Amino acid sequence: MQKVPTGVPGLDTITNGGLPKGRTTLLTGKSGAAKSILALQLANQFARSGLKTMVFTIEETPADLITTGDGLGFGTSELVAQGKLRFTDLTFPLDANTIITGEYDIAALVHRIEAAVTEFGAQVIVLDSATALFSPKPPEERLRHQFFELVRTFRRLDLTALVTAEAPDDYGARTTLGVEDFVCDVVLILRNLVDNERRRRTLEVHKYRRSAHQKGEYPCTITGKGLMVFPFGVQGTPEARPTTSRFSSGFAGLDTMTNGGWLRDSITLLRGPSGSGKTTLAGMYARAGAARGERVVYYGFEETYGILMRNFASLGLPMEELVKKGHLRVECSYPEATSPEDLLVNLRKSLEDFEPSLIVLDSISSIAHSTSARGFRQFIIGFSSLVREHSRSALLTQTITVHQDDSAAPFLSTIPDAIIALDYERRDRKLARSISVVKMRGSAHAEDTYLMHIRPGGLSVEAPHDSHAEAELQTRR
Segments making up each domain of the chain, as ranges: 3-229, 246-476
Burial class (CB within 10 angstroms; exposed 0-12, middle 13-18, buried 19+) of 194: exposed
Give the confidence band of 466 by pLDDT, cuts at 50, 70, 90.
Answer: low
The reply to whether domains 3-229 and 246-476 share a CATH topology is: yes
Q: What is the pLDDT of residues 296-343, one digit of tens each?
A: 999 999 999 999 999 999 999 999 999 999 999 999 998 877 778 888
Q: What is the pLDDT of residues 361-377, one digit of tens each?
A: 999 999 988 888 888 88
Output the pTM of the full model. 0.77
3-state secondary structure of 347: helix
305-314: long-range contacts (C-beta < 8 A, 24 or more apart)?
305/330, 305/331, 305/332, 308/279, 308/332, 311/279, 312/283, 312/287
Alpha carbon 386 to chain centroid, angstroms: 9
Is the separation of the CB atoms in 157 and 114 below 8 Å?
yes
Pick 246-476's CATH classification: 3.40.50.1820, 3.40.50.300, 3.40.50.2300, 3.40.50.1260.
3.40.50.300
Handedness of CA 324, 330, 331, 334 (dihedral sign): negative
State the pLDDT at residue 242. 66
Is the pLDDT assigned to residue 197 strictly greater than 80? no
Burial class (CB within 10 angstroms; exposed 0-12, middle 13-18, buried 19+) of 139: exposed
3-state secondary structure of 92: coil
Is the separation of the CB atoms in 363 and 331 below 8 Å?
no
What's the DSSP call for residue 344? H
Is the separation of the CB atoms in 274 and 302 below 8 Å?
no
Percent of the chain topping pLDDT 90? 61
Give the other-Cβ count within 10 Å of 108's Cβ.
Answer: 8
What number is the average pLDDT over the span 250-264? 94
Instruction: Return the amino acid letter for 78.
Output: E
Q: What is the pLDDT of residues 421-453, one digit of tens each?
A: 999 988 777 889 999 999 999 999 999 999 999
Angle formed at CA 67 by CA 192 and CA 63, multiple of 5 degrees: 110
Cα 460 from Cα 450, distance rounded (Å): 10
b/e sequence 142-172, b meaning 16+ C-beta within 10 Å: ebbbbbeebbebbeebebbbbbbbbbeeeee
Is the pLDDT assigned to residue 180 strictly greater than 80? no
Handedness of CA 129, 134, 135, 137 (dihedral sign): negative
Is the separation of the CB atoms in 300 and 330 below 8 Å?
yes
Cα 390 from Cα 240, distance rounded (Å): 8
Give the confidence band of 133 by pLDDT, cuts at 50, 70, 90.
Answer: confident
- Cα-flanking dihedrals φ and ψ of residue 90, to 5°? -120, 20
Average pLDDT over the chain reads: 88
Give the N- to C-terminal CA distance of the chain in Å, as an integer: 65
Cα 87 from Cα 148, distance rounded (Å): 23
Cα 329 from Cα 296, distance rounded (Å): 6
Is the pLDDT assigned to residue 473 strictly greater than 50? no
Question: For the chain, how are helix, strand and coil distributed in percent, rounded to 5?
Answer: 35, 25, 40
Among 355, 420, 336, 348, CA closest to 383: 348
What's the DSSP call for residue 137? P
State the pLDDT at residue 232. 74
Cα 227 from Cα 142, distance rounded (Å): 35
State the pLDDT at residue 467. 45
Low-confidence winner among 71-75, 195-199, 397-401, 406-410 (lowest mean pLDDT): 406-410
Domain 3-229: CATH superfamily, name plus number:
P-loop containing nucleotide triphosphate hydrolases (3.40.50.300)
Cα 255 from Cα 243, distance rounded (Å): 18
3-state secondary structure of 304: coil
State the pLDDT at residue 91. 83
